[in-house]
Structure 1
Amino acid sequence: MKKTLFTVLLLSVIIPLSSFDTAPARQIKLPTNTEMVTALKQALENGTTKSADQLSAVDGFFKNAAVKILLPPEAQKAEKTLRKLGLGKLCDNTILSLNRAAEDAAQKAKPIFINSIKQMTVQDAANILLGGDSSATQYFRRTTTNELTEQFKPVITNSLSKVGATRLYGQLATQYNKIPLTFNKINPELDDYVTQKAISGLFYEIALQELNIRQNLKARTTPVLKKVFGYIDQKINQ
């Protein structure tokens, strides 16, 4: 049953043979279950590796407007006040340091994603291939978020200290908190916030890579990727 599950799902969803029993359809060779799983794992490993590499590069977060980490919401009001008081440089350096911490930690995500891919079942692969454009990203959210959080937070904590973010944000919070009539004090703790934002940025980039492999022929760089995703494209477009 498990051996034929992939083919049954694929046929039932995108190959209604009773309605399209034509010669061209019969000439298209159905990829094997092994080819389908192999292609999907190749695509996901390529996509997650590329995402982690891009975000872990210098300015991977900082110069990517979609994932750039800003000050926590409760500190953004303080940022405006501090800039008016001539402390814009402190704000800029603090924001840069948050992104440097995320960039420093992003590479640690690769083995977590690769392990999740290795654990993928035939059922998981079928759901992803036949799902929507973000089905692989949702799979990773479900299977890796807890481990990413657990393993990322210590790295983020160390990175925040290493790049000076903890010190800079502490200075920012101190400067704001001592302003007269400041009732809403800033919590100087950053670890949870930056960890969550770094993981969200990774999933955002993975979603882009997933969409690319589904829609961009040039992104299919191996024979099995071309065969499996090309086959699905043809069947969907019939």
Structure 2
Amino acid sequence: MKRNTILVATMAVVTLGTTTQSCVALATSSVGLAVLKQILLGGITKGLNIFSDKNSFLANQLIEAALPQQLKDVNNTLQKLGLNSLVQKEKEYIAQAATFTVDVSRPILTNAVNSLTAEDAARIVQGGSGTATQILREKTSEQLMAAIAPKVDAKLNEFGLVSTLNQALAGSNLLGTLLGGQSSNALTGGISKFASQQMVNGLFNIIQNHEQQNSATILNSLNSIK
């Protein structure tokens, strides 16, 4: 019971962002770091489980919210042309490609969590809820992009996404214009880049949401033992 009380108190300190010296000491202890890592690992597992299932990926609003403006513009143009079914196909291709990024994303994120330091914990205490995810993003976002973009590119090439979109736009250069005036040879890479950005940002949205939801749970638990 005593250990559970310590864990709850430590987790509350981490997520509430209390800045007293005693709270910093508690959060940066071995117990505090273990709890912090548990929170982040839970969010990572939740996010990657969603990525592992195409339908879960498509239904997740946090992933949808991470859609880059360039792909929004493409989809809006297609919808104005009455090609809603093609927009859905594009989203399905991206969701299917996301399932192939899980195995490379997991070790990057897990290693970053396991390497968190007492200094990171102190920053989280001072920054409050959401700071843990922000630190994880800073440590891994570039590495994640570098790791998953080639897989996304390969899969979207395999699915023929760009050729499908170009055919729907009647052979015009409208797709290239929407993606910043790229040449036809660079279009697949452009779409793959933006799809990869959506995946990385969507994953961090899920992790942060998990962190924030966990904060509320911690507060309730803390109140229950008063």
Give the aligned residue type for 2:207.
Answer: I
TM-score calculated relative to the size of structure 1: 0.68
Aligned 1:61-72 pairs, distance under 5 A: 61-68=57-64, 69=67, 72=71
Distance 1:81 1:40, change over 3 A: closer
Q: Report the CA distance between 1:126 and its aligned residue.
A: 2.0
Shifted more, 190-199 versus 152-161: the winner is 152-161
Shifted more, 169-178 versus 139-148: the winner is 169-178
Distance 1:135 1:178, change over 3 A: same
* Separation (CA, whole Å) in 2 of partners of 1:153 and 1:184: 20
What stretches of structure 1 of length at least 5 have no aligned partner?
1-5, 17-29, 219-228
| Other-structure match for 1:44 | 40
Contact 2:54 2:96 in 1 (8 A): yes
Distance 1:132 1:179, change over 3 A: same
Distance 1:12 1:133, change over 3 A: closer
Give the aligned residue type for 2:195.
Answer: V
Deviations 1:25-58 (A, max 9, x none): xxxxx68811111111122222212221123223
Distance 1:177 1:49, change over 3 A: same
Q: Report the CA distance between 1:170 and its aligned residue.
A: 2.0
Is 1:137 aligned with 2:133?
yes
Deviations 1:116-153 (A, max 9, x none): 11221111012224422100111011101111111111
What stretches of structure 2 of length at least 5 have no aligned partner?
1-9, 180-186
Q: Report the CA distance between 1:199 and its aligned residue.
A: 0.3
| Other-structure match for 2:152 | 156
Query: Which structure's CA Rg is the greater one?
Result: 1
| Other-structure match for 1:202 | 203
* Separation (CA, whole Å) in 2 of partners of 1:39 and 1:156: 33
* Separation (CA, whole Å) in 1 of partners of 2:86 and 2:18: 59
Contact 2:18 2:128 in 1 (8 A): no
* Separation (CA, whole Å) in 1 of partners of 2:206 and 2:111: 18
**Aligned pair partner of 1:101 in 78, 89, 97:** 97
Q: Helix, strand or coil: the match of 1:91?
A: helix
Is 1:193 aligned with 2:194?
yes
* Separation (CA, whole Å) in 1 of partners of 2:122 and 2:155: 38
Q: Helix, strand or coil: the match of 2:63?
A: coil
| Other-structure match for 1:221 | none
Give the aligned residue type for 1:62.
Answer: L
Aligned 1:167-182 pairs, distance under 5 A: 167-178=160-171
Distance 1:183 1:202, change over 3 A: closer
**Which of 1 and 2 has higher RCO (CA within 8 Å, sep 6+)?**
2
Identity value in percent: 22
* Separation (CA, whole Å) in 2 of partners of 1:90 and 1:183: 13
Contact 1:97 1:160 in 2 (8 A): yes
Distance 1:206 1:107, change over 3 A: farther
Contact 1:67 1:201 in 2 (8 A): yes
Contact 1:57 1:103 in 2 (8 A): yes
More helix by share: 2
Give the aligned residue type for 1:146.
Answer: E
Contact 1:56 1:107 in 2 (8 A): no
TM-score calculated relative to the size of structure 2: 0.72
Q: Report the CA distance between 1:102 and its aligned residue.
A: 2.2
Q: Report the CA distance between 1:103 and its aligned residue.
A: 3.4
